[in-house]
Every structure is written in C-alpha cells, then in structure tokens.
Amino acid sequence: MAEAAGQDAAGGEGAAAAGGSAGPSGAQKVLAGVLVAISAAMGAATYQALNPEKPVLEAEEGVDPSNPFPELGGAFDAVSTADGAPVVTEADLLGKLTLLYFGFTHCPDICPTELTKLSKALRRLETVEPELARHVQLVFASVDPPRDTLELMRKYVAGFHQRLVGWTGSDEQMARLAKAYKVYVRALSADEMAADDYVIDHSMFTYLVSPEGHVVELFGADNTPAQIADAIFKWKPSLAL
C-alpha cells in the first residue's frame, strides 16, 4: 500500500503503532543519520527566518540560498480537491509560495494540530499582507491514499481553512510524491491494514516551496504560526508583488 515511501526519512510522529526492537537495524541507523542532517538544516532555515540579518544558509560554503535543499522535490502527479484542478504535478508549485504538509485524515492529534497552525499562519498573512496571502498555497498531501479518498479529503480540509487543498491518488502516486520530498512513512503489515483503524508513523515537517519550485524552509512542531508567517514574508520579493 504505502510501502515505497517508507524508505526515505525526514523525522517522525513516533512509533505509536510499532512494537519494540532488540536494537537498531542498518536501515534504522541510516534513518537516524538522515534525521540528524535534515533536523540541522531545518534549524538553520528557521534561525535564518527569525534572524534575517544573520544569513545562516549562506555561511555554509556551496549552499544556494534560493535552493538550500536540492535533494528535496521532484516529479510527481496527484489528484487535488481544488475546483477545476483535478490533477496536479510539480508544475503546480511554480509561481506561488506553497506550504506543503504530509499526513492522513485519520490522524488523531498531530496532523490536525499542524494543519490548524498552518491555517493560523495563513490567516495572519491574510490580515496583515492580503496580497501576499493570495499567492500562498496551502496543501495537505495524504500518506494514506487507501482511506483518504477524494471525497473524504474534501470534507477534511474544509474544516481548517477555505484555501487548504488536499492531494491524494493511488498508492503509487502518493508514494512517489512522498519519496520526492524524503518523507518517512512506516510500512504497515497486511494485518494492520486489514484492521482499518491503523495509525501511520510519518514525518511531520512542513515544507515551504518557493515560486521556482525549490524547498526553501522546513518547519517543525516547535514553530509557531507567527514564525511561519514571518518566514513566508521574507520570500515576498520572490513573487515580485
């Protein structure tokens, strides 16, 4: 089902549905290394957003501030809840700023918490920078396509913000999208899938994608709506408003 995406990582909700383990496997050690690297990068990106006079990303030799995470992103296609846009691809990220979060509608706590936070950030922009806010796209991409049907996604996203759109599709489509953004999704057993009340352990970062389609910021659970809105404002010049 959602097995392909589980081979890349960028953090996690916690293995609430997983059992114990005698020790870390080789794959777990690789995952830990990726976690450390991306967490450090996320910290640098967030620090730069809060301290624009100190260009942290530029301080590291060879890092392009307009594309600080070149390993994130790539070709994909999915089905969107947006009116008149049933199929979306990487081209739909161009020309606007996008807040992209991966999760699932049956998530008991973290996903709704993060989507509420992102919705508050967008509302903050709509109040103080309405023109900028009109060029911000808020996206919730499913890591659970078997349950996250288009109809369910439409109902779910409507409960957060009128501008929030949901992306879903086939198992293959959503695994390809998750893999492009190095999203960790724990593979489920057949017994877990059959229960239909399973919880998916997955990454919980939000990606800020530039008008050029590059990931330029990563936000975690500790970032506030105000911090996210401020980071988006920093990229206003990229829209030539």
**Burial class of residue 104 in the structure, from the number of CB atoms within 10 Å of its CB (0-12 exposed, 13-18 middle, 19+ buried):** buried
pLDDT value, residue 166: 98
pLDDT band of 193, cuts 50, 70, 90: confident
pLDDT value, residue 43: 44
Amino acid making up residue 155: K
Region 75-103: what's the mean pLDDT? 95
202 is in an annotated binding site: yes
pLDDT at 108 over 50: yes
Domain limits, the chain: 4-239
Which one has a higher pLDDT value, 41 or 235? 235
Six token digits for residue 52: 């624009």
Region 142-148: what's the mean pLDDT? 96
Angle, alpha carbons 219-8-201 (nearest 5°): 70
161 is in an annotated binding site: no
| Residue among 198, 135, 143, 182 nearest 166 (CA) | 143
135 is in an annotated binding site: no
pLDDT at 30 over 80: no
pTM of the full structure = 0.75
Q: If you search the block for the tokens 């500790």, which residue do you land on? A: 222
Region 23-50: what's the mean pLDDT? 45
CATH of domain 4-239: 3.40.30.10
| Residue among 22, 47, 20 nearest 227 (CA) | 47
Region 164-168: what's the mean pLDDT? 98
